[in-house]
């Protein structure tokens, strides 16, 4: 089984041999096709539904989101909150950053640098 | 002082989560004059930072927020009267505050407005925004594409989403540090799990724990899930024991789950016909069982239902049934859009539900309407809502 890591909201292409599935894939709620760029998956649940179709053809998509604080990749499936989280986000916080004692101050510093860079 | 008030963000950098939505809102308010939309509509579930973001950005940019609730602008006349002297000028409050601040109009709970029922309130909001005297922000929990068509067309629409438990944990960490609380990390993790993406609820839970409440007394995060969340979780689950656990925790939704899966199985683009046929046999068997329970009170079937239903869900997921987000029927309590009603509802729920020792469903359907009817003076907004939804309880 081939595994393809993708990020929510970022376009990706499925292999040409899976072209027959195009119609079924674009019908999934939360999946869009942008001409010239490829497919965009909006959330975790759209990804699950997409995998139900693609797995039949030997391909699995693995979702990742980025940590807004340190930039690390986070795999929702491996998160300790996977059962209770609504997984609607495209940016989250990794375990190391979330559990550090001064996490809020660090978050605020990161946010400050983001907004200062873009003029706040 | 209430912790939700005490730790209200003073700046955009203090609001955790919804980074993209915050940035869009920030950009809109920053350059609203050049924007082609006349206002901005933010929507999303309660406790995710919509109102906090508006106030924090206004504070960062030197705006003075003038907030109006849906109940203040039922008619166009009310809106214009309320905002007389604001649009086109500066507010008296701003002068009295010592700083000449620009006003920002914030219309909260606009989903409580219905252009078919109100006399021009929503139109007045759109009209005021179109004059471009000052930035206009509207907020809602849900938006109805039909009811609010005009608003959506003329406003920039930004969605705020539920926070993840880890984002909630960061918010809780701040309070724990500032207040010098001695609370176990495990308890914080449980609060983060049980708050269901609502930061306000998480802070209130933390306060309850601080005041001596037992975290275990707070309901299991898998129980009483809204139907749309339950269906999404079920459709993403590949472990049959987890599916059964979810179903056993939410018996109030069994019938809805069955109907939704019937629909998904029939419409699946990838399921083989023999598998579809096999699943439909069990769907019809289960439908008969549920019908017998309702019509004849055949409750002995109850013990079989989670087993058969979890098998159907498990196999349907494996064989390619795709849940597309539709729900079979609205659940009343999911769609309370007015903040006052919601707050009164939470108050009744917290005070009463634990003491009655009855199921959530029974509480909502029977006890709550009766209790609210008897105490209509104490809960006027909730009483009006119950009257409308249940057609009056005497």
The reply to whether residue A52 touches residue B17, judged by beta carbons under 8 angstroms, is no
Cα atoms in the 13 Å half-sphere on the side-chain side of A47? 29
**Residues of chain B contacting A91 with CB distance shorter than 8 Å:** 19-20
Res B88 pLDDT > 70: no
* A contact test, residue of B236, B265, B327 with most A CBs within 10 A: B236
The predicted structure's pLDDT at residue B219? 59
User: Which of B13, B19, B165 shows the shortest C-beta gap to A84?
Assistant: B165
Task: Please name which of A10, A110, A99, A47 lies closest in space to residue B17, comparing C-alpha atoms.
Answer: A110
The predicted structure's pLDDT at residue B77? 79
- Please give the residue of chain B at the shortest CA–CA distance from A88: B161
What span, in angstroms and rounded, lies between the C-alpha atoms of A71 and B221?
A: 29
The reply to whether residue A99 touches residue B60, judged by beta carbons under 8 angstroms, is no
What span, in angstroms and rounded, lies between the C-alpha atoms of B380 and B387?
A: 10
The predicted structure's pLDDT at residue B337? 62
The predicted structure's pLDDT at residue B390? 63
Interface check for B167 against chain A (CB to CB < 8 A): the answer is: yes
Shortest CA gap A17–chain B (Å): 16
The predicted structure's pLDDT at residue B168? 94
β-bridge mates for residue B75, sequence order:
B119, B120
Count of structural domains within chain A: 1
- CATH number of this structure's domain B227-319: 1.20.272
Give per-residue pLDDT as tens, B7-61.
Answer: 989 999 999 999 889 999 999 998 888 888 999 999 998 889 999 999 999 999 9
Which of B75-84, B204-213, B214-223 is predicted most confidently? Answer: B204-213
| pTM score of the predicted model | 0.68
The predicted structure's pLDDT at residue B98? 52
User: Which of B171, B197, B235 shows the shortest C-beta gap to A86?
Assistant: B197
Restricting to B residues 269-298, those with a Cβ less than 8 Å away from any Cβ of A are: 269-270
DSSP per-residue codes, B125-180: HHHHHHHTSS-EEEEES---TTTTHHHHHHEEEEE--PPPHHHHHHHHHHHHHHHT
- Please give the residue of chain A at the shortest CA–CA distance from B59: A120
* B contact test, residue of A70, A94, A104 with most B CBs within 10 A: A104
The domain spans of chain B are: 3-159, 165-217, 227-319, 332-390
* A contact test, residue of B170, B188, B220, B222 with most A CBs within 10 A: B170
Restricting to A residues 3-22, those with a Cβ less than 8 Å away from any Cβ of B are: none
Shortest CA gap A29–chain B (Å): 5
Shortest CA gap B306–chain A (Å): 19
Share of chain B above pLDDT 90, in %: 25
The reply to whether residue B164 touches residue A101, judged by beta carbons under 8 angstroms, is no
CB B282 within 8 A of CB B308: yes
**Residues of chain B contacting A105 with CB distance shorter than 8 Å:** 174
User: How sure is the predictor about B381, in pLDDT bands with cuts at 50, 70 and 90?
Assistant: confident
Domain B3-159 is in which class?
Answer: alpha beta
Average of pLDDT values for A50-77?
A: 85
Position with higher pLDDT, B86 vs B308: B308
Give per-residue pLDDT as tens, B331-376.
Answer: 455 556 677 787 888 888 777 766 777 655 567 767 778 888 888 8
**Residues of chain B contacting A45 with CB distance shorter than 8 Å:** 232, 235-236, 323, 325
Shortest CA gap B72–chain A (Å): 33
Note down the domain range covering A44.
2-117
User: How sure is the predictor about B330, in pLDDT bands with cuts at 50, 70 and 90?
Assistant: very low
Please enumerate, as own/partner, the contacts of A32-40 that have beta carbons within 8 Å and a separation of 24 or more: A37/A11, A38/A11, A38/A12, A38/A13, A38/A14, A39/A11, A39/A12, A39/A13, A39/A14, A40/A9, A40/A10, A40/A11, A40/A12
CB B258 within 8 A of CB B309: yes
CB A52 within 8 A of CB A39: no
**Residues of chain A contacting B58 with CB distance shorter than 8 Å:** none
Give per-residue pLDDT as tens, B243-297.
Answer: 998 898 888 888 888 888 988 888 888 889 999 999 999 999 998 998 888 778 8
What span, in angstroms and rounded, lies between the C-alpha atoms of B98 and A16?
A: 66
Interface check for A87 against chain B (CB to CB < 8 A): the answer is: yes
Shortest CA gap A75–chain B (Å): 13
The reply to whether residue B169 touches residue A91, judged by beta carbons under 8 angstroms, is no
**Residues of chain A contacting B269 with CB distance shorter than 8 Å:** 23-24, 27, 53
Least confident of B27-41, B65-79, B143-157: B65-79
Angle (nearest 5°) at CA B48 between B46 and B50: 85
User: How sure is the predictor about B197, in pLDDT bands with cuts at 50, 70 and 90?
Assistant: confident
What span, in angstroms and rounded, lies between the C-alpha atoms of B33 and B28?
A: 9
The reply to whether residue B193 touches residue A81, judged by beta carbons under 8 angstroms, is yes
Interface check for A64 against chain B (CB to CB < 8 A): the answer is: no
Give per-residue pLDDT as tens, A7-62.
Answer: 888 898 888 777 777 888 888 888 889 988 889 988 778 888 888 888 877 888 88
SS3 B217: helix
Least confident of B28-32, B86-90, B128-132: B86-90
- Please give the residue of chain B at the shortest CA–CA distance from A106: B170
The reply to whether residue A52 touches residue B320, judged by beta carbons under 8 angstroms, is yes
Shortest CA gap B357–chain A (Å): 25
CB B30 within 8 A of CB B183: no
The reply to whether residue B164 touches residue A92, judged by beta carbons under 8 angstroms, is yes
């Amino acid at each position: 089984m081939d595994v393809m890591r993708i990020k929510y909201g970022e376009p990706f292409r499925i292999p040409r041999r899976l072209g027959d599935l195009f119609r079924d894939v674009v019908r999934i709620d939360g999946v869009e096709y942008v001409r010239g760029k490829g497919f965009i998956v909006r959330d975790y649940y759209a990804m699950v539904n997409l995998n139900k179709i693609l797995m039949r053809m030997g391909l699995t998509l693995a979702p990742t989101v980025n940590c807004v604080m340190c930039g690390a990749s986070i795999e929702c499936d491996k998160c300790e909150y996977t059962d209770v989280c609504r997984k609607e986000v495209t940016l989250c916080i990794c375990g190391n950053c979330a559990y550090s004692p001064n996490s809020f101050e660090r978050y605020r510093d990161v946010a400050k640098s983001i907004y200062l860079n873009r003029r706040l | 002082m209430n912790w939700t008030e005490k730790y209200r963000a003073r700046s955009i950098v203090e609001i955790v989560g919804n980074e993209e939505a915050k940035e869009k809102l920030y950009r809109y308010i920053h350059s609203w004059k050049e924007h082609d939309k006349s206002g901005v509509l933010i929507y999303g579930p309660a406790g995710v930072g919509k109102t906090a973001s508006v106030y924090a950005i206004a504070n960062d940019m030197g705006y003075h927020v003038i907030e109006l609730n849906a109940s203040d602008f039922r008619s166009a006349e009310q809106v214009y009267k309320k905002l007389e002297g604001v649009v086109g000028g500066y507010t008296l409050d701003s002068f009295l505050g010592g700083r000449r601040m620009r006003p920002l109009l914030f219309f909260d709970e606009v989903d409580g407005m219905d252009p078919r029922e109100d006399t021009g309130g929503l139109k007045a909001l759109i009209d005021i925004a179109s004059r471009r005297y000052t930035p206009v922000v509207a907020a809602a929990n849900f938006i109805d594409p039909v009811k609010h068509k005009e608003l959506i067309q003329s406003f920039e629409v930004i969605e705020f989403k539920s926070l993840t438990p880890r984002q909630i944990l960061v918010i809780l960490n701040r309070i724990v540090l500032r207040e010098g609380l001695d609370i176990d990390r495990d308890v914080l993790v449980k609060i983060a799990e049980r708050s269901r993406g609502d930061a306000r609820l998480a802070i209130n839970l933390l306060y309850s724990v601080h005041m001596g409440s037992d975290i275990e007394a707070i309901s299991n995060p898998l129980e009483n899930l809204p139907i749309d969340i339950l269906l999404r979780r079920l459709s993403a689950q590949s472990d049959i024991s987890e599916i059964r656990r979810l179903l056993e925790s939410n018996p109030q939704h069994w019938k809805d789950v069955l109907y939704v899966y019937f629909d998904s199985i029939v419409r699946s683009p990838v399921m083989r016909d023999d598998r579809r046929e096999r699943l439909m046999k069990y769907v019809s068997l289960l439908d008969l069982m549920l019908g017998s329970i309702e019509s004849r009170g055949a409750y002995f079937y109850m013990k079989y239902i989670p087993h058969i239903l979890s098998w159907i869900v498990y196999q349907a997921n494996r064989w390619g049934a795709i849940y597309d987000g539709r729900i079979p029927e609205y659940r009343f309590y999911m769609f309370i859009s007015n903040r006052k009603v919601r707050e009164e509802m939470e108050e009744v729920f917290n005070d009463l539900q634990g003491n009655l020792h009855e199921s959530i469903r029974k509480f909502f359907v029977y006890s709550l309407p009766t209790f609210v009817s008897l105490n209509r003076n104490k809960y006027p907004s909730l009483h009006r809502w119950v009257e409308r939804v249940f057609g009056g309880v005497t």
